[in-house]
Each structure stands twice: as C-alpha cells, then as structure tokens.
C-alpha cells in the first residue's frame, strides 16, 4: 500500500457542499476505474454517492461482477473482504475507514470456532454430520473455515436456501455468528425450538450436554446484532395500541419474540420491496437500522406512507456510521493522486478457501 500525502484531517472543516462537490469531482476524474458500493445502513451523506446500493447479497454480486480497478466499499470490514475475495487479483478493495467493523462479527473468531469443532468431535464426527454455515457478517477466516469443511456462507436474504442446501449435505448445522437469524430461519423451516441449541463459546462444550448436541438439528452460536436487539415485543404492542392498522416488519436478526409478533420478516431488500409495493396511506413499524428506516420514510412520504423506527431509543449501526463523507473524499482524492489508502487484502490461501464457501452461496441463491 502506498504512503499517503493527503491527511484525512484536512477535510474535517469542509462544508457539506464542499465535500459533495469534491467527491463528485473525484468520481468524475476516476471514471470507470472506480465503483462505490453502499450498504443500505450507510448514512445518507455517503449513501447518495454510491454507484450501487443494496444488502450484503446484492453487493457481493456487484463486487463479483465489477470490472472497476478500485472497489470502494461504504460498509464495514467484512464487506470489503468479500469484495476482495470475489474480485480479480488486479482489482483493489478499499474501506474508507478501517475502524468500521461489526460487533456481531467480532463475537465469533477462528480460534473459538475451531475449538467448538474440536469439542463437537468428542460427541460426533462433525465433518460427516455437521455443515458449518457462517453468516456473511463474519471475518474472512471463518468463511475460509466453512470452505475447507464443506460449508457455506449465507445472508439474511438467502438463509432459507442455504439451510436447505446445508441439510442436504449433512444432518446438522453449526450456524454462526448470529443465533437469531439461525433460529428465525430454522423455525420457519419447521425445525422445533428444542432442536435448536445455543453454543456458548465461553463454556466448555458450549455449555451443552452430549445428549443436547446429538438431538440438535441446529447448533446456534451465541452471537447477536446489538442494533436489532434493541427491538422488543412491547414496542410493537404499544405501537399497535396507538395505530391498530399498522403493519409490522422486522429483520430476522431481531429476536424470535419480535419476529413472531411481526406481520412480515425479511432482509433489508425484502423490507424495502414490501413497503414499496404496499398501497398508499399504509403505516409501518420497522425493526431494522435507523438510517434505512429514515430513508424509507422520506422515500415514500409522497405516497402517504408513514414508516416508523421500532425502538423508542435512537440506535444506528455505530460502526457503519464511521464511514463519513470526509473519509470517502480522503480515499477518492488519494486515488486521483495515484495513492491507494486502506486497501483490504485477504491472504491468498484464505481467500481461495473463503471463495469456495461464497461461490456455494451464490450458486444456491435465487
């Protein structure tokens, strides 16, 4: 990675108008050499500059299809890793702020997952009976773990298809790092709750007995998204008391109780499409990240739709929020000057193994 002559501190005091104008000028100067990918949870000041926007599955496909020399990912670290894994060796994946991580992804690391695999082998043969499935919200080395153990990656969009494929390979699933996506998806596939157990990575054998492990269809990692755990069934109850006609829609990273109390459950793309396709004048309570909810409310206001954030406490993805216009401009103007900053590069062997798991995901995704 080249050294940088432009310091991000130079952009702190720029007005919003100056930031926008210089970002657009840098994009024009870089032309087809650049593509900016923006996740739906990204703040509006950055999101509006994205060439492509979407959820993790959609952006993974954009990264794989891109011919641009520079892929600037306005998201979090694991997303930029996916872009690097799926793009060619000649392409460069960049994260404007390296501090943009994911607390959920941090709840599962390779050492703990390998220990879990080893401990499972005391009860059964995991390579014969367990398909490892990692949510895309995870580090590249966990995707590589799944790649070399016959496993796969999933997103909230394709989780049912991935689980169906996984059960077609082996009788059990180890699902990490988000227990809630695993439980909500499994339950909708008619897996009883008592056949989905939680693996506590801080406890020997995950805190489970051999009998629990043998009975389980799904072993769910004790991980979660802090944003989606803000939503509670009582928030829905209070809102419905005020607006009985309201429709409730939640992301499957929310708790089982919240999802059961919702009229609709699905990924960010599903949430957007469901609200977009609803008739004018509808009112929605949405259990997902604040930036997306606010964007939907503005987008559909002209149709008389009211889109509300489920939690009374303001809560956004704080790590995603670290990508700001200042860091985006810093990244782009360095590229204009011929310098690459904040390149995300996955180890070659690790990338090859992770790509296996990602390609399996893309193959089974509709």
Q: Is the pLDDT of residue 353 over 80?
A: yes
Q: Is the pLDDT of residue 130 over 70?
A: yes
The bridge status of strand 130-135 relative to strand 70-74 is unpaired
Beta partners for residue 134, in sequence order: 153, 176
pTM above 0.85, yes or no: yes
Does domain 8-101+319-346 bear CATH number 3.30.460.20? no
Task: Give the tens place of pLDDT for each residue, 37-74.
Answer: 998 888 889 999 999 988 877 887 888 888 899 999 99
Q: Is the pLDDT of residue 8 over 70?
A: yes
pLDDT at residue number 4? 46
pLDDT at residue number 314? 63
Q: How far is CA 77 from the centre of its chain?
A: 10
Task: Give the tens place of pLDDT for each residue, 264-299.
Answer: 999 999 999 999 999 999 999 999 988 899 999 999
- Mean pLDDT across the stretch 313-321? 61
- Mean pLDDT across the stretch 141-166? 97
Q: Is the pLDDT of residue 5 over 60?
A: no
Q: Is the pLDDT of residue 127 over 90?
A: yes
CA dihedral for 298, 299, 300, 306, sign (positive or negative): negative
- Mean pLDDT across the stretch 101-105? 75
Say if CB 186 and CB 217 are below 8 A apart.
yes
Task: Give the tens place of pLDDT for each residue, 174-228.
Answer: 999 999 999 999 999 999 999 999 999 999 999 999 999 999 999 999 999 888 8
For 105-225, CATH gives 3.40.50.10800
| Percent of the chain clearing pLDDT 90 (strictly above) | 80
Helices and strands (H, E) in the chain, number of each type: 16, 13
Concatenating the DSSP letter of every residue in 229-242 gives: GG--HHHHHHHHHH
Domain 228-309 falls in which CATH fold?
A: Rossmann fold (3.40.50)
Q: Answer with the residue of higher pLDDT: 4 or 280.
A: 280
* Residue 166 tokens, joined: 């996984």
pLDDT at residue number 50? 95
* C-alpha–C-alpha distance, residues 354 and 344, integer Å: 15
289 Cβ neighbours under 8 A, 6+ residues apart: 40, 41, 227, 268, 316, 317, 320
Cα dist from 123 to 53, 200, 211, 307, whole Å:
44, 16, 9, 49
CATH 3.40.50.10800 residue ranges of the chain are 8-101+319-346, 105-225, 228-309
Q: Is the pLDDT of residue 2 over 50?
A: no
pLDDT at residue number 103? 76
pLDDT averaged over every residue in the chain: 92
């Amino acid at each position: 990675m080249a050294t940088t002559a432009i310091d991000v501190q130079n952009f702190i005091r720029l007005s919003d108008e100056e930031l926008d104008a210089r970002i657009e000028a840098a994009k024009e100067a870089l032309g087809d050499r650049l593509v900016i990918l923006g996740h739906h949870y990204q703040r509006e000041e950055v999101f509006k500059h994205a060439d492509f926007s979407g959820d993790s599955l959609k952006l993974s496909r954009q990264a794989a299809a891109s011919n641009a020399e520079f892929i600037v990912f306005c998201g979090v670290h694991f997303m930029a890793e996916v872009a690097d894994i799926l793009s060619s060796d000649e392409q460069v994946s960049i994260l404007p702020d390296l501090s943009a991580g994911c607390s959920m992804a941090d709840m599962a690391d390779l050492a703990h997952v390998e220990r879990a695999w080893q401990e499972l082998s005391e009860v059964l043969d995991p390579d014969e009976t367990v398909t490892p499935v990692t949510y895309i919200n995870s580090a590249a080395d966990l995707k590589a773990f799944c790649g070399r153990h016959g496993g796969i990656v999933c997103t909230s969009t394709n989780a049912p298809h991935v689980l169906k494929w996984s059960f077609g390979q082996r009788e059990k699933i180890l699902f990490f790092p988000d227990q809630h996506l695993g439980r909500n998806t499994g339950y909708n596939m008619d897996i009883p709750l008592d056949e989905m157990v939680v693996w506590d990575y801080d406890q020997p054998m995950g805190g489970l007995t051999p009998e629990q492990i043998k009975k389980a269809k799904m072993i769910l990692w004790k991980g979660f998204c802090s944003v989606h755990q803000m939503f509670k069934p009582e928030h829905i109850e209070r809102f419905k008391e005020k607006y009985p006609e309201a429709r409730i829609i939640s992301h499957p990273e929310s708790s089982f109780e919240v999802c059961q109390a919702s009229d609709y459950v699905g990924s960010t793309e599903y949430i957007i499409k469901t609200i977009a396709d609803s008739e004018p004048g509808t009112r929605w309570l949405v259990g997902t990240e604040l930036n997306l909810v606010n964007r939907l409310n503005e987008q559909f206001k002209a149709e008389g739709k009211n889109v509300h954030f489920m939690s009374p406490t303001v809560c956004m993805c704080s790590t995603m929020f670290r990508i700001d216009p200042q860091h985006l401009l810093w990244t782009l103007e360095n590229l204009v000057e011929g310098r690459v900053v904040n390149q995300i590069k996955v180890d070659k062997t690790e990338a090859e193994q992770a790509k296996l798991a990602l390609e399996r995901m893309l193959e089974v995704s509709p």
